[in-house]
Amino acid sequence: MTIQVPINPDIRDKSFVLATDLDGTFLGGSAGAREILYDWIEDNRDTVGLVFVTGRHPEFIHEHCDTFGIPMPEYVIADVGTTIAQVHSPGMVLPVPELEAPIAQAWDGKADKVRPLMDRIDGLTLQDTPFRHRLSYNISPEGFDTSALDSVIALDVDVLVSDNRFVDVLPRGISKGPTLHRLLKALGIKPERVLTAGDTLNDISMLTADLFAVAVGGSEQALYDNLPESPKIHRARGEGAAGILEAIEKFNLHPTPRSS
C-alpha cells in the first residue's frame, strides 16, 4: 500500500509563491525559456512555492508532470477554480473537501438544470473531461450566438467565454481569483509574496485579485482589453515561461537566473 503524504506541506513558509495558469502560460513560450524556469523552480524549492491555477482537471496535472518533466506543484486550483487540491507523494492530486465545501454547495443541483439549456445552443460541444463542480464546452469554428446564454445565466451561475474557443459554466461567484484567495487565506500565505500569471480571459479574476500579476506575452486580446491599469499588473513582452520570469524580476519577488 502506497502511503500518500503531501509533497510539501510547508508552502506557507516559502518567500515566494507562483500561482500560474498552464496552457499558454507556464507551458507556453520557447523550450529554452521553459527549461530555465522549470530548472530554477526545482533549484529553489526551499524558497519557491508553486500553485497551478488552471482550467484543466487534476488528472491532467498528474499525467503531464510525470510525462513531460514539469515541476510538481504543492497545490492545484483546477477546473477553472472549482477544484482545490493538494499534491501528495507520489504525485497524486487529491481534492481538499473542507476548502471545496462552499464550491460544492454553490453548484449543488445546477448541472441538471444547466446542461439541457446548453445542449440546445448551436455551436457548442460538451468537453470530454471529468466534471465535478462545472460544465465546459468547446466553441465550433463557426462560433455561436452569445445571447443564447442568457437563459443559462438566469439559473444563478456564471458563464465565462474565453479565447473564442471555450465556454465554462461555473457556480456563481466561483472562479480562479476567489478560489486562489480562499487557498492563500487557508494556508496563511501573505498576498505580497504571490505572483499570478495567465494569458486568457478566464484568468482575469486572478490577475485582478489585488496580487502581483502578469499577462504573459501573446495573451488573448480580450484579456488585455479588460485588464485595468495597475502598478501590480505587468503586461510582459516575453511569452509563456519567459514572461513569468520577466514579471518576477519586475516586481523583485525573488532572484532569478536573469537577475543573479
- pLDDT at residue number 211: 98
- Give the CA distances from residue 59 to residues 83, 128, 193, 234, in Å, rounded to whole numbers and listed in that order: 12, 13, 28, 31
Tell me which residue of 40, 72, 70 sits closest to 256, measured CA to CA.
40
Amino acid at 103: I
Q: Which residues contact 159 (CB under 8 A, 6 or more apart)?
A: 149, 152, 153, 167, 168, 169, 170
pLDDT, greater one: 45 or 68: 45
Dist CA 131 CA 108 (whole Å): 13
Instruction: Say how far apart CA 12 and CA 193 lie, in whole Å.
Output: 10
Are 188 and 200 a contacting pair, CB within 8 Å?
no
Is the pTM of the predicted complex or chain greater than 0.75? Answer: yes
Q: Is residue 9 over pLDDT 70? A: no
Task: Give, as one character, the DSSP assignment of residue 198.
Answer: E
| CATH of segment(s) 5-96+174-250 | 3.40.50.1000
The confidence band for 250, taking pLDDT boundaries of 50, 70 and 90, is very high
Average pLDDT over the chain, rounded to an integer: 92
pLDDT bucket at 8, cuts 50 / 70 / 90: low
Helix, strand, coil percent values for the chain (each to nearest 5): 40, 25, 35
Q: What is the pLDDT of residue 205?
A: 96
pLDDT of residue 258: 65
Helix locations, the chain, DSSP H: 31-43, 58-68, 97-107, 110-119, 150-153, 176-187, 204-207, 221-226, 240-250
Give me the mean pLDDT over the 17-35 stretch. 96
Using alpha carbons, list the distances in angstroms from residue 87 to 56, 61, 181, 227: 15, 10, 18, 31
CATH number belonging to domain 103-171: 3.90.1070.10
Rama region for 69: left / alpha / beta (φ>0; ψ in -120 to 50; rest): left
In 3D, which of 228, 231, 234 has the Cα closest to residue 246? 234
Better-scored residue on pLDDT, 207 or 63? 207
Closest by CA to 179, choosing from 104, 252, 238, is: 104
* Residue labelled with grid coordinates 472549482: 82
Cα–Cα distance between 175 and 134 in angstroms, integer? 10
What residue segments make up the domains of the chain, in order of their start? 5-96+174-250, 103-171
Q: Once rounded to an integer, what is the mean pLDDT over residues 113-128?
A: 95
